[in-house]
Structure 1
Amino acid sequence: MSTDVQTARVAAEVTPVRRPRVPRRGIGRTAGMLVVLLAYIVPVLLVVSNSLKPESDILSDPLGPPPSVTLHNYVDAYQRMNFLGSFVNTLVITVSSVVVICLFGSMTAYFLTRVRWAPNQFVFYLMIVSMMVPFQVLMIPMIKILGDLGLLNQNWIIVYVYFASGVPMAVFLYAGFIRSIPRELDEAATLDGCNRVRTFFYVIFPLLRPITITIVVLDVLMFWSDFLMPFLVLRRPEQRTLTLSTMAFVQSHTTEYGPMMAALIMSVIPVFLAYLFLQRHVIDGMVKGAVK
């Protein structure tokens, strides 16, 4: 018995240990992802680096690290762009737009998927088709109509335009999620005396939390950083959003790069933190909603 044990030990020592091979396809994919990561992160690092430099250092060496870190650009940007007022304007427009999109988008999707009505399928496909129309096609006639009606220079007009452009995507995602919810829940709520409105708000809408968070994050990222619509609609300085306020550092013949980059960093930080805490819900909601 001891001879067999010794033979097994010798065989184990002689037999070479095979290491798992890393497939070449996995190495190439990882290298490609690293290249894409660098392509995205290098411009961000350059903006952060230059926001900490004096203007002379930015012009002499824009690609190098800051020789001495200074926060003067941030203080200057905060004061000159009226950061607090611009932040409040952006927050009000973004939150209002997201709330109306989630509320009416979920209600519309529930009606289109649960109510047996002949035009529902046509309306649903019409919303999908509207997602394919670029905003630039509608921009000039829309601004002309709003100008003729005297509706420019009003923040609620931007909320209305954001609602019109964002609700088709919300309906599409909500409809896919609602179809995965058993109809037996609606029937049980009806037996308990709930009408369709109470059934939606007390039974269905709480189950839409994952896809709602997804829509909130996607719309916040889009509306918070939008420049075109506020630029076309808002004219008075007190109405400016954060993206418009960064234009204060672009003059006719010169551009103050240091304060402008500091303004960009301060504008991005709130939405970046929001996405950082909610990013896992985005993938979860997309998988449960769009795939199903």
Structure 2
Amino acid sequence: METRYRPRTFVAEALLIVIAIIYLVPFYFVLLNSFKTLGEIMVDTAAWPQAFTLKNFSASWEAIDFPKVLLNSVLVTSLSVTGMVIIGAMAAWRLVRFPGKVSTVLFIMFISAMVIPFQSIMIPLVQLTKNIGLINSSPGLIVIYFGFGVSFTIFLFHGFVKSVPLEVEEAAIVDGCGDQRLFWSIVLPLLKPMIVTALILNSLWIWNDFLLPLLMLQDRELRTIPIALYSFFAQYSKKWDLAMATLTMSAAPIILLFLSLQKYIIKGIAAGSVKG
């Protein structure tokens, strides 16, 4: 039976297109102004460049040592997210498959940690990390990110694990599969959609985070991209041309990651919302 294209459908699609365009406007301004001189940006940020120039990219590349800060961001993001995904998946599977008072209390504690504002604990956090020797180090920053992000990751996996058929695991146990092999060989591959979802969401957060690296890292060699970008904005001068070029270069990796894995995001979130 042929589906009719109704006016209501047209209005809904037109509305969604308009909303999408609104969300893309900031990307348009960043990309457009990255090819303009500072004078052109100050005159009219929305105007088309008089002549496209790549000088902003080369200047910002050298000014902040972009390969170094890019490597720092990649290491911090990848290691933090990897730890969150592995531990989050293991913890969620254990909490779901072995229900009881202890599992319930632990899950409530993880969920409760998500509602604590970072601003309320950032001063004690900095003091604590200083006392235990984690301040001003990339491993220390990774540990802090892991602590803040693992609760949300467990929450995501907890709902998704409930959608995984228990019969699959029971069949593996009957065949003599132990707990570790059961998780790594049977359960983890079935969690792929949620793994990708957790990877994307946590990567977007850590890659663009400014406040925590600002508090934790003082050494210039350890700077991530958001901290390096901040150096273009001094008290009496703002280098918008270099900042726009840096934003364009820094956004490219995370956008490519998102586009390559986006097909799993909706599937992961939808599956994680069923059965509780």
TM > 0.5: yes
| 2:88 corresponds to 1:88 | no
Equivalent residue number for residue 37 of structure 2: 54
So what's the TM-score if we normalise by structure 2?
0.92
The 5 A counterparts of 1:168-183 are 168-183=151-166
Gaps of 5+ in 1: 1-18
C-alpha distance in structure 2 between counterparts of 1:44 and 1:257, whole Å: 15
Q: Which residue of 1 aligns with 2:7?
A: 22
User: Runs of 4+ in structure 1 displaced over 6 angstroms?
Assistant: none
Distance 1:135 1:269 in 2: 28
Shift of 1:37: 2.6
Structure 2 spans left out of the alignment, 5+ residues: none
- 2:220 is the alignment partner of 1:237: yes
Q: Does 1:142 align with 2:143?
A: no
Amino acid in the other structure paired with 1:278: L
Kindly tell me: are residues 150 and 131 of structure 1, through their superposed partners in 2, closer, same or farther at Cα, counting changes over 3 Å?
A: same
2:71 partner amino acid: V
Instruction: Report sequence identity in percent.
Output: 33
In 1, distance between residues paired with 2:221 and 2:29?
A: 31
Report if aligned partners of 2:163, 2:274 keep a CA contact under 8 Å in 1: no
Corresponding position of 1:16: none
Matches within 5 A, 1:1-292: 22-23=7-8, 27=11, 29-292=12-275
Displacement of 1:118 in angstroms is 2.7
Deviation at 1:182, TM superposition (A): 2.4
- Which has more radius of gyration? 1
Is 192-201 or 252-261 further displaced after alignment? 192-201
- With normalisation by structure 1, the TM-score equals 0.88
Q: Offset of 1:224 from its aligned partner?
A: 0.7
Separation of aligned partners in 2, 1:105 and 1:231: 26
**1:59-98 deviations in Å (ceiling 9; x for gaps):** 1222211011111000001111111111111011111011
SS at match of 1:291: coil
Kindly state the Cα deviation for residue 38 of structure 1 after the two structures are TM-superposed. Answer: 3.2
CA distance in 2, matches of 1:184, 1:59: 64
Q: Aligned equivalents of 1:286 and 1:21: distance in 2?
A: 29
Contact 2:134 2:141 in 1 (8 A): no
Quote the Cα distance in structure 1 between the aligned partners of 2:25 and 2:173. 56
Taking the aligned partners of 1:63 and 1:146, their CA distance within structure 2 comes to 44
SS of the aligned residue for 2:45 comes to: coil
CA distance in 2, matches of 1:275, 1:35: 22
Number of residue pairs matched? 272
The change in CA–CA distance for 1:72 and 1:20 in structure 2 (over 3 A counts) is closer
